[in-house]
Amino acid sequence: MSWFDQRPDDAMDGAFTAVGPDPVQTVDPAAFRESMSRLGAAVHIITTAGPGGKAGATATAVTSVSDAPPTLLMCLNRRSQTNPAVVENGVFCVNTLGAAEAQIADVFAGRTGVSGSDRFLTGDWTVLTTGSPVLKSAVIAFDCRIVEVRSVGSHNVFFGAVQEVRLGPGGPALVYHERAYKQGVGFLQPR
C-alpha cells in the first residue's frame, strides 16, 4: 500500500485549493519577518544524500503532519544550496539539535563560510534507512522519504514519510527566538 492510499480521500480535500476568486492581501513582508522572529522554534539540521549529492541546511520550519501514516513537513528556500539536492535525492533527515549545538547550527546556516559537503566535517555522523546523514548528537532524528512537494511563495514544502526515528541524548533543545539561539529550558510543569 502506498502512502497516498493510507490517507482518507477527504483528509486532503481542498487543502491546496484557492478559497476565493480574489487575491489575498497580506501584511508587509518586513512586519511578517519581525513577527516570526518572536515565534520560538526548535533548530534542526536538514540533511540529504544520494544522486543529487550530500547537502545540509539549518531550518526551523518543521512540524508533524500526521501519525497515520507518520508524516512530517519541512520547508526550504528554493534558492538554498540544499533544496535541489533534496529534490533530486527524494530523501531527507531532520536532525533536532541539543542546546549546546549552536556552532553546528551556524555551520549549516552558512554563517561560517563553510559550504557543501565540507559542512559534514563538523559533528559525528551516521546514516539510517534513507542514507541521509544523521547527527549522532541530535536529540531526535527523523529519516524521511519525500511523498509530496509543494511550492509556496519562495519555499518548497516537503512532506516526508518517516521511515526511521533515532532517539539521541535527552536534555534541553536548541531554540531560535528573537534572532538568537536559546536553550529550551525552564518550561512550565504540568499541574
The domain limits of the chain are 41-60+80-145+165-177
Grade residue 106 by pLDDT with cuts at 50, 70 and 90: very high
Give the number of other CB atoms < 10 A from CB of residue 71. 20
Query: So what's the pLDDT on residue 18?
Result: 52
The CATH architecture one would assign to domain 41-60+80-145+165-177 is Roll (2.30)
What's CA 119's distance to the chain center, in Å?
A: 17
Give, in order, the Cα–Cα distances in Å from 25 to each of 20, 154, 155. Answer: 12, 17, 19
pLDDT > 90: what percent of the chain?
68
pLDDT band at 5 (very low <50, low <70, confident <90, very high): very low
Cell numbers at 60, concatenated: 526551523
Q: Would you state the pLDDT for residue 11? A: 43
> What mean pLDDT do residues 84-102 have?
97
Residue type, 3: W
Q: Length of the chain in residues, anyone?
A: 191
pTM of structure: 0.84
Give me the mean pLDDT over the 67-81 stretch.
Answer: 96
Burial class (CB in 10 A: 0-12, 13-18, 19+), 55: buried
pLDDT band at 117 (very low <50, low <70, confident <90, very high): very high
